[in-house]
Amino acid sequence: MGDDMSAPYSYTFADLVTDRDLVELDLSDVVFDRRICQAGAFKATAHVTNRATADHVAKVIPRGVGDLSRGPGRTVVHIDRGGDLWGTYIIWRGDPQGDERGRITVPLQGASLESYPAHREIRRDLVYAGVGDRDICRDLVADMEAHGSIGLDVPAGPPGMPRDRTYRASEAATYGERLDQLAEVIDGPEWMIRTWRDAQGVRHREFVAAGRLGQDATDHHFAQPGNIMSWSYPADATDVATSYQTRGDTPNDDLSAESEPLLSGIWEDPRYRAAGWPLLERTVDYQGVTDVSTLDAYARWWAERRSGMLRIPQVEVRLDESTSFSPNRLGDSAALTLVNDWFPLNNGRPTFAHRWRIVGVEVIPVSRSSGQERARLIFEEPTGHPATTTTTAEMRG
């Protein structure tokens, strides 16, 4: 490890349903990330150097066809950093392979537990009238668990904003899709699945829904010069618009009658047109929605959050052994200071000194292919950009 002061990592593989340990493996090329309201990715490689390591890796990826006792889709990896559980990822793919020199490797790919609801379909009608959106989130996960549990705890909390939602089994939508849609309205809930270890060493999986995850008052500080290794502040208009509408399903139950999908109104942030922006149009689909007011709420969210160009800052940092930040702290605010030729000092004071909210993180641990631990922090689009200032998108007739 040389002079690196980062904490050591370990990778324990376990059964998805029972969480029974299977094996601990030495991995290289490890990269994993986490996001609020999204599944994070996991990639790594297991090197098979002899028969003994092959037997260990075979506890995760079966050698033979028809071995249902292990394998992708039913196995997770717990990532431990210096004694703290930094994430749990479902292994969705393993690819044992060998080259002409006889070297055998097993690349692994997976996604955090937030990916699991996207693999479960709602197979009974669920109707919510005036129910808080956070309570709807919790009930969706509780219903998913009731018909095939992976051991998720669903603690109670404030109910959230009252919403009307109807989810039909005939729509074959996933719990993940519905959770995503609940987050895509103004003041919609944020959610994630946290894994942690209690004082007795028992691992827990907890579904958390809140109006806003994380804390504003924290001790996370990142600076250049200092622990910031690199930074970027992109301006991206690739996949955005200045005028939005959303499209649902047809409200006509008579399949013999000609009908068209329901459309929301056209919603725009008026400041862009006033500032001379061109008209950029986009329609977003919401399967199963047959209520115009719900479609309008989705369209308004897109108009307020995804109009014009996006400015989402990212920094790559060094994390010391006792860092105050971990992936379970997503949503926290952090102090960020940059001093360089792009952001020079002004009368001895930084021109770039902000406190921004961390909404994603990608971690590259120390391994044989990476001599230094790195973490790429993704911040919420800063307040002050039009998409996050207090405004109301307007519906254009």
End-to-end CA distance of the chain: 63
* 199 SS3 class: coil
Using the predicted structure, report yes or no on whether residue 193 has a pLDDT greater than 90.
yes
Closest CA to 143 of 162, 128, 159, 160: 128
Cα–Cα distance for residue pair 83/192, rounded to 1 Å: 22
Nearest to 299, CA basis, from 314, 322, 316, 281: 281
Q: What is the rounded distance in angstroms from the CA atom of residue 292 to the CA atom of residue 268?
A: 17
pLDDT of 387 reads: 42
Backbone angles phi, psi at 67, to 5 degrees: -80, 105
Tokens of 237: 């208009």
Q: Are strands 243-247 and 281-285 parallel, antiparallel or unpaired?
A: parallel
Q: Helices marked H in 218-337 — which ranges? A: 270-274, 292-305
**Given a cut of 50, is residue 385 above it in pLDDT?**
no
Cβ pair 186, 300 in contact under 8 A: yes
Structure tokens at 211: 């109006």
Average pLDDT value for residue range 11-24:
97
Q: Strands 352-364 and 374-379: what pairing? A: antiparallel
Whole-prediction pTM: 0.87
CA distance 7 to 275: 49
Alpha carbons 139 and 141: distance in angstroms, whole number: 5
Pick the CATH number of 120-210 from 1.20.1550, 2.40.160, 1.10.1740, 3.55.50: 3.55.50
Strands 27-35 and 84-94 come out as: unpaired
pLDDT tens digits along 60-94: 999 988 888 889 999 999 999 988 999 999 999 99
Distance separating alpha carbons of residues 45 and 219, to the nearest angstrom: 34
Neighbours of 295 (CB within 10 A): 23
Higher pLDDT, 39 or 287: 39
CA distance 22 to 12: 8
Q: What are the residue boundaries of the structural domains of the chain, listed by start?
A: 9-113, 120-210, 221-235+310-385, 238-307
pLDDT of residue 397: 64
CATH 2.30.300.10 is held by the domain 9-113: yes
**Whole-number Å distance between alpha carbons of 48 and 55:** 9
Structure tokens at 40: 């994070």
- Residues 286-342 pLDDT 10s: 988 888 999 999 999 999 888 988 888 899 998 888 888 999 999 999 999 999 999
Q: What is the DSSP letter of 38?
A: B
With bands split at pLDDT 50, 70 and 90, how would you rate the model's confidence at 152? Answer: very high
On the question of pLDDT at 389 being above 60, the answer is: no
- 136 contacts 128 by C-beta, under 8 angstroms: yes
Q: What is the pLDDT of residue 290?
A: 86
- Structural tokens at position 228: 């910031």
